Structure 1
């Protein structure tokens, strides 16, 4: 897939269907290859603002096989400043459905990692309600210590996982995936998914479509949780906007 630098990250220009097809292909190939899983991470304002503040996160992002545009600001910056535009925003909350449909068609197995025990369980139920033929071979909440990582990974591999969904929140989900990639031989793809489970369960609401398309989804979220998000967005949006303006089109790191 073609890649361009947006905000300091080499980001694929692919649309959701292309990304889903790539993930599916990687999973099918790795069923017969002794290789670690492909890592598919996302880029948005939060991730761009985190760049340079956490060495483990930076190393994980550089090691990703694919970084895709989860935020509309990433897409808009590519259209304004990069030599090639990203064709479509691939929000993980939308991309999940493309991957799920392809997984049903090709018999791929999902493992759902992260969230609280209650939310994880309800997210799995929501997935199966939407896609009754989807094969979910395991699940585990995100409340485990680093001393349990090896055991968690053994369970994931033993389940016959093709796509591992990791919903631990940035930057932990990326650093955890990178640190444990070597323990996950046999898994086809690791896909980080942030707040996906919250949207599947109805714990969080998506912004209206016009706000998603104009890059204002953050404003909708701020209106829902002003006390929690006000300070974070003041810092994150300022830093990410500056980096999108000054570090798009040049070489990524």
Structure 2
């Protein structure tokens, strides 16, 4: 879908970019706490299940469960491989100064043909957004990766969708740039499979994440158990870019 949307945008057959976001425990908790944030998620075009607890909840409670999680930190590799083969162009926006650039260096080394045409950190104001979007469009970007954290990244995507007309996707990506800047390591595979990647991250970032997970994990579990139904709009579980 990423490839088809990007080709359609290049050919002028697609108006505004598709907004692709992810859901995890923090997103679920905030979705039920904030009507404004709930609107941002519901108005996205694709919502990926970036968290094993979501998948497990559907396996226990739904007749047609999700098959697997779609972690953004995994999906970026599939997307980069496709982009390098098909000539799609990426733009990285977000994180602290230098972090997204290091992530870009990582992917350029891994996929030498990948075109990352622009990188900018996440320290800017709303007054800067028109200039940023103009640059993204001028560079003929196909996929813009926005890592500002929720709800800032989702709000940015919706607020600037019209300004970014001409690109294929706006893909929110949370802390992905941190992961690929060399700052943090992914959890062992066994922890990812059983839904404990959040614990690994908390051990590595206790000051930043312990409070966040305390506030969100239990509420998210409550909402997963009480609000998961077959009638709810399904999250996507397709890994194909």
Which TM-score applies when normalising by structure 1? Answer: 0.88
Deviation at 1:125, TM superposition (A): 0.8
1:245 corresponds in structure 2 to 225
Deviation at 1:233, TM superposition (A): 1.3
1:90 corresponds in structure 2 to 70
1:29 corresponds in structure 2 to 8
Q: Report how many residues are paired.
A: 232
The DSSP-based 3-state class of the residue aligned with 2:187 is coil
1:172-221 deviation digits (Å, cap 9, x = unpaired): 10111011111110010011111111111110111110000000111111
Residue 219 (structure 1) aligned with residue 209 (structure 2):
no
1:25-59 deviation digits (Å, cap 9, x = unpaired): 21112212241000110011010011133333222
Structure 1 unmatched runs, 5+? 1-21
Correspondence list, 1:200-215, <5 A: 200-215=180-195
Residue 113 (structure 1) aligned with residue 107 (structure 2):
no
Distance in 2, Cα, partners of 1:45 & 1:24:
29
Structure 2 unmatched runs, 5+? 234-241
Distance in 2, Cα, partners of 1:228 & 1:140:
23
Correspondence list, 1:45-56, <5 A: 45-56=25-36
Residue 144 (structure 1) aligned with residue 121 (structure 2):
no
Cα distance change of structure 1 residues 170 and 246 upon mapping to structure 2, 3 Å threshold: same
Tell me which stretches of 4 or more aligned residues in structure 1 moved more than 4 Å: none
Deviation at 1:122, TM superposition (A): 1.0
2:22 corresponds in structure 1 to 42
Residue 229 (structure 1) aligned with residue 191 (structure 2):
no
Distance in 1, Cα, partners of 2:100 & 2:206:
25
1:120-179 deviation digits (Å, cap 9, x = unpaired): 211111110111100111111111101111111111111101000001011110111011
The DSSP-based 3-state class of the residue aligned with 1:76 is helix
